[in-house]
């Protein structure tokens, strides 16, 4: 927890700010009043600095936690694959096999084409998003508090509360949909879908508008649904932490607050486990459905 966050508003803003790294121009006045003599790549120490870094900046915490959780997924599943046994499976092997069977049944039920990429993609999406979402179950002040003690101004631990992460994943899915739409139907077939449906050749402008909106809505809805649900869940945990501080009369960041946080967060965390899993499942399922639509040829 940052020492600067004294009020409830500052506390909320602090926990919703990403750790941003980017370039500030020469002559820029920093948060501490210092003026930069040259263009400088640095960590933002205020929301305004993060904003002024512009498009070239990137969120270190989102990238870091996403990468670590992705590597955790690879390490876990690769370890089980190397030690797989036909005898009595270990608990970890049994759990991994259950996830793979669940993903396989989901793909078989929603994807009617033939593509060896779809099942591995669905598995990666589900497990990776679940792990990123599950970071929301870590008590809200623990990791940011440790980061503050190490001198970091901000740290958001849930990558899916950052729209950059959710849009990054959804746009990747969107490009795959475009690729397979053209590959399976040809350029003419894909353009024909956009211009000739649903009203035929005489309704071309209306067809293009409706189909274009429908196409663009896919990545937008994927990204915003995941981001919105996880962001709202994070906000509730922050508000619970503030309630704990108010009820105990403790200062923000104290050991008493940590204890009250756990008790107040328990009920919401139990319910939030469902949201964490459901959002990963919805993103995976919609990806499968969109790819299935890309493989279908309309006549």
Contact 206, 199 (CB under 8 A): yes
Average pLDDT, integer, range 68-77: 96
pLDDT of residue 1: 44
Q: 3-class DSSP state for residue 58?
A: strand
pLDDT in tens, 232-247: 988 988 887 777 666 5
pLDDT at 41 > cutoff 80? yes
Q: 3-class DSSP state for residue 49?
A: helix
Name the DSSP class of 88.
S
pLDDT category, 178, cuts 50, 70, 90?
very high
Q: Which residue in the list 90, 105, 214, 221 is annotated as catalytic?
A: 221
Q: Which residue in the list 66, 170, 207, 229 is annotated as catalytic?
A: 229
pLDDT of residue 52: 94
pLDDT of residue 216: 93
CA distance 40 to 250: 39
Greater confidence (195 vs 40) lies with 40
Structure tokens at 121: 């993609």
pLDDT at 91 > cutoff 50? yes
Q: 3-class DSSP state for residue 91?
A: helix
pTM for the complete prediction?
0.88
pLDDT at 275 > cutoff 90? yes
Q: Which residue in the list 46, 115, 164, 225 is annotated as catalytic?
A: 225
Q: Residue 257, class by beta-carbon neighbours within 10 Å (0-12 exposed, 13-18 middle, 19+ buried)?
A: buried
pLDDT of residue 260: 55
Average pLDDT, integer, range 48-64: 94
Contact 296, 112 (CB under 8 A): yes
Mean pLDDT, the chain, rounded, equals 87
DSSP characters for 73-84? HHHHHHHHHHT-
pLDDT of residue 299: 47
CA distance 236 to 218: 28
pLDDT category, 264, cuts 50, 70, 90?
low
Average pLDDT, integer, range 55-80: 95
pLDDT of residue 197: 77
pLDDT category, 9, cuts 50, 70, 90?
confident
CA distance 297 to 299: 7
Q: Tell me if residue 108 is catalytic.
A: no
Greater confidence (299 vs 131) lies with 131
pLDDT in tens, 92-132: 888 999 999 999 999 999 999 889 999 999 999 999 999 99
Q: Tell me if residue 225 is catalytic.
A: yes
Pairing of strands 20-24, 40-43: antiparallel
Residues of 156-179 as b/e, b for ≥16 C-beta within 10 angstroms? bbbbbbbbebbbebbeebbebbee
Q: Tell me if residue 78 is catalytic.
A: no
CA distance 98 to 89: 11
């Amino acid at each position: 927890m940052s020492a600067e966050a004294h009020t409830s508003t500052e506390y909320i803003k602090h926990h919703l700010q990403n750790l941003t790294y980017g370039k500030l121009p020469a002559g820029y006045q920093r948060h501490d009043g210092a003026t930069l003599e040259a263009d400088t790549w640095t960590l933002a120490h205020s929301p305004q600095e993060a904003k002024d870094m512009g498009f070239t900046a990137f969120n270190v915490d989102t990238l870091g936690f996403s990468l670590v959780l992705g590597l955790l997924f690879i390490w876990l599943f690769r370890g089980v694959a190397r030690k797989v046994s036909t005898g009595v499976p270990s608990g970890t092997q049994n759990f991994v096999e259950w996830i793979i069977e669940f993903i396989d049944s989901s793909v078989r039920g929603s994807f009617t084409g033939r593509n060896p990429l779809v099942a591995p993609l669905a598995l990666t999406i589900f497990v990776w998003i679940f792990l990123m979402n599950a970071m929301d179950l870590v008590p809200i002040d623990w990791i940011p508090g440790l980061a503050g003690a190490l001198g970091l101004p901000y740290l958001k631990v849930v990558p899916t509360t950052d729209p950059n992460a959710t849009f990054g994943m959804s746009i990747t899915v969107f490009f795959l949909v475009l690729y397979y739409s053209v590959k399976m139907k040809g350029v003419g077939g894909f353009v024909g879908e956009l211009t000739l449906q649903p009203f035929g050749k005489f309704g071309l402008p209306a067809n293009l508008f409706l189909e274009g909106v429908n196409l663009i809505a896919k990545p937008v809805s994927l990204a915003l649904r995941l981001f919105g649900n996880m962001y709202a869940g994070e906000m509730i945990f922050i508000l619970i932490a503030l309630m704990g501080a108010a009820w105990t009369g403790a200062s923000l960041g104290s050991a008493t607050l940590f204890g009250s946080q756990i008790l107040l967060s328990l009920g919401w965390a139990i319910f939030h486990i469902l949201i964490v899993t459901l959002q990963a499942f919805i993103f995976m399922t919609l990806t499968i459905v969109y790819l299935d639509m890309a493989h279908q040829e309309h006549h």
